[in-house]
Structure formats: C-alpha cells, structure tokens
Structure 1
Amino acid sequence: GYTSATMGSRQQDVIRASLELTRLEDRLTALHTQLAYSKEALGEWIGASQAQLSVTESIPPLLLEDVSSGWSETTVESVIRHPSIRATDQLIDVQDIDVDLARQAYKPEWSVFAQYGYRDRAPNGQDRADLFSIGIGFDLPIFTGNRQDRRLSASAARLEAEKTDRVLRIRSLQAKARSALARIERLDDRIDLYQQTLLPQMEEQADASLTAYNNDDGDFAEAVRARISELNAEVELIQMMAERAKTLASFRYLTTEASNIPSFSMTDLQD
C-alpha cells in the first residue's frame, strides 16, 4: 500500500511537471512572437536586413554605463544642442530679419540712375554732342504709418512668439531629461537589489525546496513554485535592464549632440 501510494504520488508529480513545462513553452513562444514583432518595428528605422541580425544574450555595457554625473548634462547649455532647439533658433533668425525689413519700410528708398545717349549728325551734317545724364531720386513714405505699424507689430509678435517657444522647449527638454535620469537611478537601485540580494535568496530557496522534495520531506508543488519564482525574477531583472537601456538612450537624445555620442556598429551587438 505504501509503495502504491508513493508511485501514485510520483505519477502526479510527473503530470504536474509536464503541465508546468507546457506553460513555460507557451510563454517562450509568446516571447519569440514579441521578439519577431519588435524586430519588424525596428526594421522600419534601420532596415529589414539590419533588424534581423542576431544579438548577444546580455545588454552591451555601453547601454548600461554609469550616469552619476548626468545631472550636469541637464543644464540649458546641454539641451540647446537638441535638434528642436536648433530648428527654433533658425526660425528666430528668420523672424529677426523680417523685423528688420519691416523697420526698413519707415525709411525712404533712395535710387541713383545714369543715362548715356548717342546722337547722330545734324541734318546739315554737323556733329552733335552725345548726352549723359545722372540723377538721384527717393520715395518718401507718406500716410502709410498704420500699414507699416501693423507689419512691424506682426513681425515683432512672431519673433517674440518664437523666443517664448524656445524657452518652453528648453524647459520641456530639461524636465524630460531629469525625469529620465531619476528613473535610471531608481532602476539602478532595483537592479542592484535583485542582483545582490533577491536572486541569490530565491535560488537558495529553490534549491532547498528541491532538496527537500528529493528527500521525501517536501511538496513537489512548492519546489516547482520556488523554481518558477526564481525564473520570473530573472525575467524581471532582464526587463529592468532593458528599460534602463531604453531610458538611457532617451536621455542621451535629449541632452547630447549626436556627434558626441559614442558610435558602435550593429556588428558590436552580434554574437
């Protein structure tokens, strides 16, 4: 009777183990589907052939570099290199020229002209001197004050609007950069906690549960749950590291000129 009960219990454990394995395989299939979708989305930006390259199992160190000194990169001097700010600076220059042109309308327009005329001989055969004339003229605006004032006011208003937009864009970039940096610091704290404390403890618990089960002193379901919890924690760690890498990329985009970002080819990320 004891032997039969033990064999029945073991058979149930095998069935439960097979069930958990099937669930893990389904989860792996879902992750492969997500990977394929992400590669296709990436191909829109870097080309389909580049997006299909295999990558290493670990995130490149470049995307996990320390950002302890990153707060200094959130100053105005740093974010003004952003493409959107440079584009706004160009618009401000254009509007500044438009204001100058509007002011020029208040001034008279001067003109200088010269004319040379060749004359044939007189009917009696005598030579006649050629003609050369020079003149100076100017157009003096009269009774156009309202029209000129409206044009100058409109040009000045557009210039001030672009300057205000520049200030708001800089503040927005600074806020986004600081938010990204704060998120990276919090992720670093969690990553350190997982690597230094949580994962070692969960591995120890999973090993202890499996040892107890093998010695007929523990429950199979508990051993399986402990191992699955460990795997889930490892997945969460990978997700946090990936999120940190994406957040760092966003931070660099917000604060660093493209030419100053260390470059690396796609081959650096391959196996």
Structure 2
Amino acid sequence: MTLKHFLKIIGSTLLLTVVVPVASAESISLEQAVARANTIDPWLLGSEKQQESLEAMSIQAGTLPDPSVNLAIANLPVDSFDFAQEGMTQFKVGVSQMFPRGNSRALKREKLAEMSKVQPYMRQDRIAQVANTVSQLWLDVYLLERTIELIEKDRHLFEHLVDVSQSSYTTASGKARQQDLVRAQLELTRLDDRLTRLRQMRDMKTFQLSEWLQVDDLTINPAAAHTISLHSETVLKSQGNNRTELLVDVLRQHPLLLAIEQKIATADTGVSLAKQSYKPQWGLSASYGYRDDAPNGMARADFFSAGVTFDVPLFTGKRQDKLVQSAKADKEAIKTERALALRKLRAGYDSTEASYRRLLDRQNLFDTRLLKEMAEQAEASLTAYTNDDGDFAEVVRARIAELNARIDALNVRIDIQKTIAQMNYFLVGAQLSGANNE
C-alpha cells in the first residue's frame, strides 16, 4: 500500500470518527455522584447537631434560675455554744428566687430558637454548593475521559502513517522523504505526551472527586452524561428591567440570603433583649428561724421572714444605653452583610450567564461552520498532496488541527454543562420555592 493510498484512508476515517463510551459496572453517574456526596457530607450532620444544641439551649434559657437554699445558725453564744442559752439564737432555713429582668427570659428563648432556624438554610446552601462542586469535578473527569478517547481513536492512524511513510521511503516509492518520516514519528510522540498529560489530569480530578464520594476505586459512567436542566428558564429568557426584577426576586430566595434574613430577625430580638436591661431585676426570699426553749422550760416562738430585692438601673449612660447601642449596631452590620451577599450573588450570576451565552455562540459556530471547514481543509490538503501539489507536513498539520477542533468542540459542550451547574447554584432559590409550593 502506497503512502498516497493510505492518506486517502486517513481522510475518510477521520471524517467518520465516532466515540462510543463504554459504561463500567462499577461506574457512577453525575446524578449518583451528587446524591452520594450530599448523603455522606459530614458538614450536614454537624449543622443538624448545632441546630439541636441551640434548640436545647433555648428551652434551658426559658426556665427560671434555680432557687437558692440557705442553712445557718445565727447568734450562737461563743462562751458556751449553748443553743438554748440566748433567745436570739436560731437555726435558719432560707429560700430565695431571682427573676430575670422584664421579659428577658422569653426573649432569650426566642433568640436562641431563631438562631437555630439559621441552620436549615445553611444546609440548603451547602447542598447547592456540593452539587455544583461535585458536578464540576465529574464533568472535568468526563471531559478528560472523552478527550483521551478522541486522541486514542486517531492514534493508530498516526502509527500506520509512520509505518507507511517508512515503507514508502525505504522503497523509494511515491513522494515520501526522510523529513516526512521524521514528522510522522514526531506527531505520534507528541500524541503520546499529550495522552500522558491528560491521564495525569484525569487521575488528579478523579482523586478530588473521590474525596467527596469516599470511593477508593472510582470510575465515572460516560454513558450517563446528560444535559443539566436550568432551575429557572424564566430568568434566562427575560430582558431589561423585567429581568432585573425577576433575578433579584429569585436571588432573595437563595438559602444564603434567607439565612442572613434569619440572622437579622435574631438580631432584632437581641435589640429587644438589650432593652430589658432598663428594667429592674427582682428577687424573693423567705426564711424560717427555729429557736429552742429557754433554760427555765419556757417555749420560745420561731421566726418567719420574707423579703423582696430589686436593683434600680439609674445610671444607664455607660451600661444599658451602650448595650442597646451595641445590639442595634450588630443588627445594622448584618443588614450590610445581606446587601453585600445579594450583590455578590447577582454579580456571580450575571458573569456566569454572560459566559453561558458566549459558549452557546461558540457551540453554534463549531456545529454550523468550524468543524465542517476544518474537515474540508484536511480533505483539501490531502487531495493536493495526492495530486503532487501539496506538502506532507501540511497534511499532518491539517489532521492535527481537525482533531484539535473536535476536542475544542467537546470542551465547549462540557463547559456549557459546567456553566449551567454553576448558574443553578445562584438560582437554587427558584428550585426550593417551587418545591415548597408543590
């Protein structure tokens, strides 16, 4: 077989290249990876325990402090230590109970209960973050696997190209020259190096994915790749002021912002709690004093005492006023945090959506023109060479460029899916609100 004949075979084969991924029995799909990562995420369990702790503390904060019991012997004469000698000598049993200021007990319970309500929103945000992170890693591994398959699909053609060019050069047939043989071997070596680098990157991404899934021998299921659906097509399709309003409405339902809203409610309760410091703290006390009979046998009456204690917040300038001022400042600081979080989410979504639209443009360009034109260029260079009007190096360059174009098209398709996964994190509020309305 001559070199020219083999190059014609290359042309027809490369134009019909089809990659058929093979699913492994132990492989994991994208949906399975996301579900497993969220199922075994220890952060979620820690959040549940933190919520449980706050709920228990709220019950504890709503109870009265424990009463104090006082046992004492009063006015015992030190000359004889005779309990019956003096009429003032008593054995006293006292009980006292303090009452928190104003409504502070109920407000402390309410504040801790509201703090516990932050955790469910934080868990929702964590689940959305994990879904995005795991999706990115899974798609990275998928992209590298498919890229390796594309290159390996064409590698044997370059192996045959080296054999044919060597045979043609040795027999001095055709147009083959020594530099053609060197160029063919060089491209094959470069493909091997490229495959090695891709496998290295694939292994790194696989280990990163394994960290989330806690699976030692992990393989992905390329056949399970699918188009990720966007949480809110309405926002994507809207324009102008309507888009801004829809986007802000959806972002306000983001669990991160809802968690901050809950923190604001907690801080508002903290302000009310701080204002209770202007009210006095009350305490009740009661005691019973037992006296022994007199030495002559005359009975002595026992004593009962009761009292009320309270403090008077008169000098509030550097205590109560500052406490309320601090609570109000905390609330305003959290409002600032909410504004910054909304701004960050909106900027993140706008940036991601802009990237998504440009990727769609690139995908359309690859599908409608670029891949076809690259194939035509490769075919044209082959035709020119077979007609003794072209250069062997140009044929090789054209085939490598066609391979790179197919890899670039694959990158664009996967980048679109990765961008949708990232957009879904910002639009998770639309999914959650839709699930709550069902």
Q: Does residue 47 of the first structure (1) align with residue 207 of the second (2)?
A: no
User: 5+ residue gaps in structure 1?
Assistant: 262-271
TM-score, normalization by structure 1: 0.77
Contact 1:108/1:140 (<8 A) preserved: yes
Shift of 1:115: 5.2
Work out the number of aligned pairs and report it. Answer: 255
2:66 match: none
Q: What is the rounded CA distance, in whole Å, between the counterparts of 1:48 and 1:156 in structure 2?
A: 49
Q: Which residue of 2 aligns with 1:105?
A: 277
Contact 2:280 2:311 in 1 (8 A): yes
What is aligned with 1:145?
A: 317
Partner residue of 2:234? Answer: 69
Q: Which amino acid aligns with 1:221?
A: A
Q: Percent same amino acid among aligned pairs?
A: 39
| 1:11 positional shift | 4.3
With the length of structure 2 as denominator, give the TM-score of the two structures: 0.50
RMSD value, Cα:
3.5
CA distance 1:150–1:192, shift in 2 (3 Å) = same
- After superposition, the C-alpha distances for 1:178-227 in whole angstroms (9 at most, x for unaligned) are 11011101111111101111101111121222133233332211111111
Distance in 1, Cα, partners of 2:391 & 2:177: 14
Query: Which region of structure 1 is more displaced relative to structure 2, 180-189 or 231-240?
Result: 231-240
Q: Residue 35 in 1 paired to residue 202 in 2? A: yes
Compute the displacement of 1:260 (Å). Answer: 4.5
Aligned to 2:356: 184
Change (3 A) 1:215 1:229: same
- Tell me if 1:235 matches 2:398: no
Local SS of the residue matching 2:176 = helix
CA drift of 1:59 comes to 4.7
Q: Which residue of 1 aligns with 2:149?
A: none
Deviation string 1:14-65 (CA, Å, 9 cap, x unpaired) is 4422221221222122111111111112222222347x223317952126x6
Q: CA, structure 1 residues 154+172, in 2 after alignment: closer, same or farther (shift >3 Å)? A: same
User: Matches of 1:55 and 1:119 in 2, distance apart?
Assistant: 85
Specify the alignment match of 2:173 in structure 1.
Answer: 7
> What amino acid is aligned across from residue 69 of structure 1 in structure 2?
T
Asked if 1 retains the 8 angstrom alpha-carbon contact of 2:282 and 2:309, the reply is yes
Separation in 2 of the partners of 1:66 and 1:144? 53
Decide which of 207, 216, 221 is 2:379's aligned counterpart: 207
Q: How far apart, CA to CA, are the structure 2 residues paired with 1:198 and 1:42?
A: 33
Distance in structure 1 (CA, Å) of the matches to 2:257 and 2:387: 68
Alpha-carbon contact 1:213-1:220 (below 8 Å) kept = yes
Where structure 2 has 5 or more consecutive residues not aligned to the other structure, the ranges are 1-167, 237-242, 434-438
Counterpart of 1:201, as a letter, is: E
Distance 2:315 2:257 in 1: 41
The answer on whether the counterparts of 1:110 and 1:137 sit within 8 Å (CA) in structure 2 is yes
Is 1:89 matched up with 2:261?
yes
Cα distance change, pair 85–99 in 1 and its aligned pair in 2 (3 A): same
1:244 maps to amino acid: I
